[in-house]
Structure 1
């Protein structure tokens, strides 16, 4: 297969995934069929089945897309060892919380879909989400361990437990973003409140 054909296949697959992504978020996974996806892209059923076995198969690709968005655009890729002070640690955390709200605005319905719908589809989806959460937790643990070793985080902290706590706090931020002000909290308030909590609970005082 030529590189041009490979590029075309990659583009067509991405179009199908984007179509499914938009439809699942706007109308719900259970309300969408393969016919809806191919109609949005303007291709035949046969084209769909060149890339995916069924609707459940393309859901995996949509989940991958959502996890990639969360990883790249919310969590970011700041190396743990690049953080040298409590102020930098808290600033990095605040940026992540702020990016959660930005991502929720940029991709309406995505976080709601991941939190409440995708996780209820079947056990395999839950397992994949939990694996990703484990990766996020491991990254948070690295940041905590770095802070402890450099002396700006409380030395009595268990790095792994503290990493799990950071992930739980991030989940609270995601839920607040999904509620879109229904909790009476503006994004800046959530960012400041959660960051102050982390500073007080994790810092050396």
Structure 2
């Protein structure tokens, strides 16, 4: 799968031939077809492989159940953003495959990618709901809406990366602004006595 991932991210889906995947894997083209019925089926597995790379890189499991305050949550988000940008720096083609090419291939794949966002948002919503229940996130916060909003705040940075603007200072400023907005949206308001 790694060979297919490397070829698809390097050349894009349309420009990739099964023979290139086979050559990269060091196997015959017939062997590829023994396990996969089509190039599109291989792409499904490449997308799964890429999702695993993102989840492993961001270390999503370390994000949940560990925060006991807004400051701890924001630090977790900052660390996750830095790890995500690190992955993109190492593998810039990943964004193009996921967010430009794959969604345009067919409706089924576009829905799978939207499902990935929904899954990530549901995980974030659980952590936000825990913060609301524990009192360190404001009680009127809607964890589900905020979870999708948090993921949306990553969008401008991803667009800049897709356009080739991978400037570490700009990444840092974007992350800082995102964290500032999150803090304002999440921090429990204190009532003056």
Q: TM-score, normalised by structure 2?
A: 0.89
Question: Deviation string for 1:69-96 (max 9, x for gaps)?
Answer: 1112125212533211110011011111
Give the counterpart of 2:159 among 158, 175, 184: 175
- Distance across 1 between alignment mates of 2:183 and 2:12: 39
The runs of 5 or more residues in structure 2 that have no matched partner are none
Distance 1:139 1:172, change over 3 A: farther
Alignment-derived partner of residue 174 in structure 2? 190
Q: TM-score, normalised by structure 1?
A: 0.84
Contact 1:75-1:96 at 8 Å conserved across structures: yes
Alignment-derived partner of residue 165 in structure 1? 149
Alignment-derived partner of residue 139 in structure 2? 155
Contact 2:95-2:158 at 8 Å conserved across structures: yes
Contact 2:63-2:76 at 8 Å conserved across structures: no
- Distance across 1 between alignment mates of 2:150 and 2:81: 11
Contact 1:100-1:177 at 8 Å conserved across structures: no
Question: Deviation string for 1:122-166 (max 9, x for gaps)?
Answer: 111112112221110101101111111122212111111111111
The runs of 5 or more residues in structure 1 that have no matched partner are 1-16
Q: Bigger shift: 34-43 or 135-144?
A: 34-43
Alignment-derived partner of residue 13 in structure 2? 29
Alignment-derived partner of residue 60 in structure 2? 76
- Count, aligned residues: 189
Measured on the aligned residues, the alpha-carbon RMSD in Å equals 2.0
- Distance across 2 between alignment mates of 1:19 and 1:96: 27
